[in-house]
Structure 1
Amino acid sequence: MSQNDHAKEAERLMRLVANAMDEQAVTQAELARRTGYGRPYISRLFKVDGDKRVATLPTALHLANALGLVTVTSEEDA
């Protein structure tokens, strides 16, 4: 998978994460607690402008996993 493909997949997952947060009534603070990320970092991932951060594919997968959208396992678990 190319770097561009990774970025597109991360964007797609982040849209799913945002929708799931709305559907599940999960706050950014709760998502931070579930993932172990800091609340300010989570906030910047969802910011529309200004000090916005772009989620990497591993970050997007971690967030999606915390919401039950995907299951992430290590190669050792497979």
Structure 2
Amino acid sequence: MSDDLDPHAVEAADLMRRVRQAMIDQKISQSELARRTGLSRGYISLLFNDRPGEANRREATLPTALLLAHKLGVVRIIGEEET
């Protein structure tokens, strides 16, 4: 196995830490985040499952992490139409 880290995976992990903190700061539930993003509550749960040894965990891709961060105001995606 290579010691090289995928820069997209590193960036996604950093964004997910920021998303988690924003959820705490804004008192946003996983259900509310799912509603805001259009992702399923089950998928959101898999992204935030921190139980050691738990098989049901997913790492967020960079596009998913960016979506979550954007919907919480952590990052701004330029070029998105204002609604």
Match of 1:59 among 42, 55, 64: 64
Q: What displacement does 1:67 show? A: 0.1
> Structure 2 counterpart of 1:72, which letter?
I
CA distance in 1 between partners of 2:18 and 2:33 (Å): 14
Q: What displacement does 1:50 show? A: 2.5
**Which structure shows the higher helix fraction?**
1
CA distance in 2 between partners of 1:53 and 1:74 (Å): 28
Runs of 4+ in 1 over 3 A off after TM superposition: none
After superposition, what is the alpha-carbon deviation per residue over 1:1-33, rounded to whole angstroms, capped at 9, x for unaligned?
Answer: xx7000000000000000000000000000000
Highest Rg: 1 or 2? Answer: 2
Secondary structure at 1:73 match in 2 = coil
- Which residue is equivalent to 1:13? 15
Q: What displacement does 1:71 show? A: 1.0
Report the identity percentage. 53
> Structure 2 counterpart of 1:69, which letter?
V
Secondary structure at 2:55 match in 1 = coil
Q: What displacement does 1:73 show? A: 3.1
Q: What displacement does 1:72 show? A: 1.3
> Structure 2 counterpart of 1:33, which letter?
R
Structure 1 unpaired stretches of 5+: none
Name the TM-score, length of structure 1 as normaliser.
0.88
- Which residue is equivalent to 2:33? 31
RMSD: 1.5
